[in-house]
Amino acid sequence: MATLWNKGVKAEDAVEKFTVGQDRILDLRLAKYDVQGSRAHIRMLESIGLLQRDEFERLDEGLEAIASEIEAGRFSLAPDVEDIHSQVELLLTERLGEIGKKIHAGRSRNDQVLVDIKLFLREELRTLREELLGLFGALQELSEKHKDLLLPGYTHAQVAMPSSFGLWFGAYAEALVNDMYLLGGAYKVVNRNPLGSAAGYGNSFPLDREMTTRLLGFDSPDYNSIAAQLSRGKCERAVAGAIGSFALTLNKFASDCCMYMCPNFGFIRFPDNLTTGSSIMPHKKNPDVWEMVRGKCNRILSAENEINLLCSNMPHGYHRDYQLLKDILFPVLETAHECIGITRMMLSHIEVNDKILDSPIYDYLFTVEEVNRRVLAGTPFRDAYRQVGTEVNEGRFKFGKGGTLKASDLHHSHIGSLGNLCNDRIKNLMDDAANW
């Protein structure tokens, strides 16, 4: 296998297979970012005199050609090439001759792969931001559409107090605001430039790290060269934590949907083609999509802990353990995109039940409303509580218009209540959270 670090002694095949693992496959995800980093690096090398102008131009043209091949899907790692960095350098050397070997001056595979990963994660985070904004918008739209339709609220899995579909959908929209803040925090951790830190101790070339920072659009360099290498694992952990936050939101929403689709509740339904049946029970309409969202989000949640365990107990500097970060995080990112996408698709087909309160199961949903009505009329709270409790125990409790009640009939007016969802204010919060 062609390796940049080969010193003439061949590694045993078993060792090579074990240490390379899935890296060749996963590295293809980094191909375009490796070219981006290399183009910034050679421009900087030319500016400090380590490349002649004509050499830089030929190398840049060569890298642009490779970038086009990547974009067109015509790029791959040769069978005897270890990783993406080796493939790009070997292609340049094959096509341009000896100047292809100059591209690596002033850097190590350590800072090279780190800048690739940071560029990759930065783009992934931007994509997730747009996907979450789309999901947020869908939830807010449903919240406004169904804001007056009452929905039973539960605590301890027992009928509790009136909620509404507007409040339910709106709650998950606002939960995404906090998730977006965490996503933005991960972006700030990621968006710093490690290029030039080499193997963790810099080097004797007069590298212009501010220049590569500008060219690659990073907020700042990782200044201390050792700190740059210490960011390996922390960036992945920050991203996994942020993804885990919205995975928890989706997980809980999926659990709600599984419960609400159950005929014992019957609060929501989906078209038959979005549910599955049973091989033996012809009446079944199973919430398989939501169960898979719930399960996949649980797997996403495990990634942060897996990264924590992988990155602990190592002194500073690069260790081959870090290679396994890609095995953990790359599939998790794919799963996150899938879960957001399928959730939004399902929401576009959701049907809500506007006859829920016709059931006598919810006769006692409004006991707190009646207690509060009596308090407002002058009865001390504890007395009103006992009066309503006695009526419930004796089967005499009645409230309002029963199944014809709407959220607006309950006169909830405080911020964030049934009658004052504050969706416009929540939208402003999301605009702020996504401003990175």
Q: Among the three residues 342, 358, 374, which one is the final residue of a domain in this structure?
A: 358
Identify whether the C-beta of residue 143 lies closer than 8 Å to the C-beta of residue 216: no
Percent of the chain with pLDDT over 90: 76
CA distance 41 to 262: 58
Last-in-domain residue among 90, 105, 120: 105
Residue among 156, 312, 348, 414 flagged as catalytic: 156
Higher pLDDT, 207 or 272: 207
Instruction: Answer yes or no: are the C-beta atoms of 192 and 118 closer than 8 Å.
Output: yes
**390 to 158, 304, 363, 364: CA distances (angstroms):** 19, 51, 15, 12
CA distance 285 to 269: 9
Are 144 and 272 contained in the same domain? yes
- For residue 83, the enclosing domain spans 13-105
86 in active site: no
- What is d(CA 14, CA 47) in angstroms, rounded to the nearest whole number? 43
- Establish if 417 belongs to a structural domain: no
> How far apart, in whole angstroms, are the C-alpha atoms of residue 12 and residue 402?
78
Residue with the two structure tokens 């970038």: 67
Residues 331 and 256 in one domain: yes
Cβ atoms of residues 45 and 196 within 8 Å: no
SS3 for 151?
Answer: strand
Are residues 70 and 131 both part of a single domain?
Answer: no
Q: How confident is the model at residue 80 (pLDDT cuts 50, 70, 90)?
A: confident
pLDDT in tens, 255-283: 999 999 999 999 999 998 887 765 666 67
For the entire predicted model, the pTM comes to 0.90
Q: Which residue has the higher pLDDT, 59 or 322?
A: 59
428, part of any domain: no
Question: pLDDT at position 340, please?
Answer: 98
Q: What is the mean pLDDT of the chain?
A: 91
* pLDDT tens per residue, range 305-340: 999 998 888 888 788 888 889 999 999 999 999 999
156 is an active site residue: yes
Q: Which range is most confident: 27-31, 154-158, 248-252?
A: 248-252
Return the half-sphere exposure (C-beta side, CA atoms, 13 A cut-off) of residue 142: 24
Q: What is the DSSP letter of 394?
A: T
Give yes or no for residue 182 having a pLDDT over 90.
yes
Would the pLDDT of 131 be above 70?
yes
**Distance (Å, rounded) from C-alpha 211 to C-alpha 383?**
74
Q: What is the mean pLDDT of residues 168-197?
A: 97
Q: Which residues 6+ apart lie within 8 Å of 334 measured at CB?
A: none
CA distance 129 to 283: 40
CATH number for the domain harbouring residue 32: 1.10.275.10
CATH code of the domain containing 289: 1.20.200.10
Is 385 contained in some domain? Answer: no
Report if residue 365 sits inside a domain. no
**Stretch among 175-184, 313-322, 359-368 having the lowest mean pLDDT:** 313-322
Active-site annotation holder among 68, 76, 220, 278? 278
- CA 45/CA 37 separation, integer angstroms: 12
Q: Where are the beta strands (DSSP E) in 302-354?
A: 351-352
Choosing from 81, 105, 129, the residue where a domain stops is 105
Which amino acid is located at 393 in the chain? N
Same domain as 92, residue 39: yes
Q: Within this chain, do residues 69 and 193 fall inside the same structural domain, yes or no?
A: no
* Contacts for 48-51: CB closer than 8 Å, 24+ residues apart: 48/205, 48/206, 48/207, 48/208, 50/102, 50/105, 50/106, 50/205, 51/99, 51/102
* Rounded-to-integer distance, Cα 337 and Cα 134, Å: 12
Indicate whether 431 belongs to any domain: no
Give 12-31 pLDDT, tens digit per residue. Answer: 667 555 555 666 677 789 99
Q: Length of the chain in residues, anyone?
A: 436
